Amino acid sequence: MARALAGSGFSDVAPSPHAWPELPDAADIDRRRASLQQSLAEAGIELNLHRNAENRLDADFFDRLERGESRPLGSGRYVLVEAPFDSPLPSLLDLIFRIKLKGLTPLIAHPERCHEFQGKGGRAAEAVRAGALLQLELGAPLGRYGPLARKVSERLLEDDLYAVAASDLHGPVGAERWLPEAIGFLETHGLHTALLQENPSRLLEGGTLEAESQAS
């Protein structure tokens, strides 16, 4: 996967292991990431790894927020969260508000694949107005997750609701083919620089996006 990412032009990535109680904790993940970074250097793969985790919007996550254990992206202002794939989340706006009260901004992973954003309403726009950011899964516009996710991703792109794009890469098979194809799709639509370069860099550094400044 690292070879495919580097070969597709990525210089920095933030692997996002699931932050679940039954999986390795933050300290263990830090050690594993450092070990992998060393392995990449030894293999001559130029790819910088940054801190990150994918958090479910559940009681465990909010308990960790209370303890100051948010497992944020990069320098610490943003947290990657995911909504349920197959069920609604009527409390979404309240959950975003609770995260914002902790001085953090939720970055919602692959919304085009989540039930809450797949209806005909403007739920994604509501989430953005409430202070969340949306992360496009690069494969969605290519149809890698089915026609519905593709249609939703196209709609959210048309409405300019995505802040960043990411691969959500879980395996190397076919990655060397579809990653460049997905990047080419963004380039064709004039979105490559914002979604894959400028905005991700700001998030990793803990900076503020223009959209956030306007919203505040």
Domain architecture of the chain: domains with CATH: 51-215 (3.20.20.140)
Q: Are 33 and 49 in contact (CB under 8 A)?
A: yes
Q: Are 167 and 138 in contact (CB under 8 A)?
A: yes
Q: What is the pTM of this model?
A: 0.95
pLDDT value of residue 124: 97
100-127 pLDDT per residue, tens:
999 999 999 999 999 999 987 799 999 9
pLDDT value of residue 120: 73
| Class of residue 154 by CB neighbours under 10 A (exposed 0-12, middle 13-18, buried 19+) | middle
- Give Cα 26 to chain centroid, integer Å: 18
Which residues lie below 8 Å from residue 216, measured CB to CB, with a gap of 6+? none
pLDDT value of residue 210: 62
pLDDT value of residue 216: 45
DSSP state of 146: -
Beta-ladder partners of 109:
135
Tokens of 166: 């990411």
| Low-confidence residues in the chain, pLDDT < 50 | 213-216
